[in-house]
């Protein structure tokens, strides 16, 4: 089943690309993988379930970046987070994985980082 990113995810990725391009090279966030992901998301290209799983693993590893000193200045961590779809990307990936790979989702949300991610982004959604 093709998984097309919703508009909010595409907008976050496009914004990440835009802000990144406006920064001097020393202040640009994101890796080659993150840039490729952003192009796919911004273009609303269909993704595989494996790619959505990678998105969740990224968000779980980088949740701490939201507390970084340059977050409010759209620093490297903020840019990278947006490149992967931003907060909308977290919510979308959680819902897709919960629906499409429930066993993986259950294991993921039992891990400390997966649990924190779910709690932060699905608190009012019955996650």
Q: How far apart are CA 3 and CA 41, in angstroms?
A: 11
Q: Where do the H-state alpha helices sit in the chain?
A: 7-22, 32-42, 49-62, 76-83, 86-100, 102-110, 112-122
Which structural domain, as residue segments, surrounds residue 107? 7-122
Q: Taking the model in full, what pTM does it have?
A: 0.93
Q: What is the domain count for the chain? A: 1
Name, in order, each residue with C-beta under 8 angstroms of 50's C-beta and a sequence gap of 6 or more.
none
Maximum distance among all Cα pairs of the chain, rounded to whole angstroms: 43
Give bridge partners of residue 72 from the DSSP assignment.
none
Is 1 within the bounds of a domain?
no
Assess if residue 127 is contained within a domain.
no
How do the pLDDT tens digits run along the chain, 127 residues long? 679 999 999 999 999 999 999 999 999 999 999 999 999 999 999 999 999 999 999 999 999 999 999 999 999 999 999 999 999 999 999 999 999 999 999 999 999 999 999 999 986 544 4
């Amino acid at each position: 089943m093709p998984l097309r990113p919703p508009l909010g995810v595409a907008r976050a990725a496009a914004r990440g690309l835009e802000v990144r391009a406006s920064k001097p090279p020393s202040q640009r966030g994101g890796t080659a993988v993150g840039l490729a992901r952003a192009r796919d998301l911004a273009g609303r290209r269909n993704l595989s379930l494996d790619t959505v799983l990678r998105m969740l693993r990224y968000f779980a590893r980088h949740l701490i970046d939201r507390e970084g000193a340059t977050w409010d200045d759209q620093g490297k961590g903020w840019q990278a987070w947006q490149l992967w779809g931003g907060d909308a990307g977290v919510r979308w990936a959680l819902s897709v994985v919960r629906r499409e790979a429930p066993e993986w989702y259950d294991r993921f949300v039992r891990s400390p980082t997966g649990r924190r991610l779910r709690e932060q982004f699905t608190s009012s959604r019955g996650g």
